[in-house]
Amino acid sequence: MTSAEAPGQQSEPALRADAERNRERIMEAARRLYATEGLDVSMASVAREAGVGKATLSRRFATRDELVNAVFTDRMEAYAAATAAALADPDPWHGFTHYVETICSMQAADRGFAGVLTASFPGATAIEARRAESYRGFLKLISRAKDTGHLRADFASEDLVVLLMANAGVIAATADAAPGTWRRLVGQMLRAFATPDAPLPPLPDAPDSADLYRAMARTP
């Protein structure tokens, strides 16, 4: 019997398989917690949700940036794809409005991703690379949309960042009490960005006053 086969010991492939399973468990736990609670979830909470010890978590992901990078890389790929799709739209104004709605919808579907879009993670190299790529594409989209005469000349790229920050706040505040409220915000903001004669998608209904009150009552 070799040392790898001795009782109580695992072979190197088995150890690697265990490590990969732990990594996947940690990532799935982080996805669940980030999606419902946002990025303020502690690493200790992620470890508890995954059913692993803090040491195991630290071996797989030494920092929060590393974990965020692993969890949200696929969503940042979708973010970059949305930018590319908007640039490919033969109507730049439609591409612009659809892009804004798409990105805000992605935020609403995942509170963690809502936070990722409004924060920087220097240690999350894949995320930051996609963010930079998408930003460059968005600058082109702005220029093309302005050329149509439908996007206000004074619109700046920072205005989208402000919208994403506001949208993240609305999503967190309304949660399941008035979950469609963000759509009204986005509809109103598109009207603020547009010139008077610009074609716009229908304005979503205002949130129900009782639902909004419940959301307000729950907000600290």
Q: What does the pLDDT look like over 176-204, one tens digit per residue?
A: 899 999 999 999 999 999 999 999 999 99
Quick: pLDDT tens for 124-161.
Answer: 888 899 889 999 999 999 999 999 999 999 999 999 99
What domain count does the chain have?
A: 2
Helix, strand, or coil (residue 207):
coil
2: in domain: no
102 and 77 within one domain:
yes
8 A C-beta contact, residue 215 and residue 175: yes
Which of 38, 62, 86 terminates a domain? The answer is 62
CATH number for the domain that contains residue 52? 1.10.10
Q: How far apart are CA 148 and CA 44, in angstroms?
A: 51
The verdict on 123 and 182 lying in the same domain is: yes
Same domain? For 20 and 129 the reply is no
| Same domain for 101 and 37 | no
100 with 140, same domain? yes
Place of tokens 């074609």: 199
| 151 DSSP β-pair partners | 194
> How far from chain centre, in Å, is Cα 128?
13
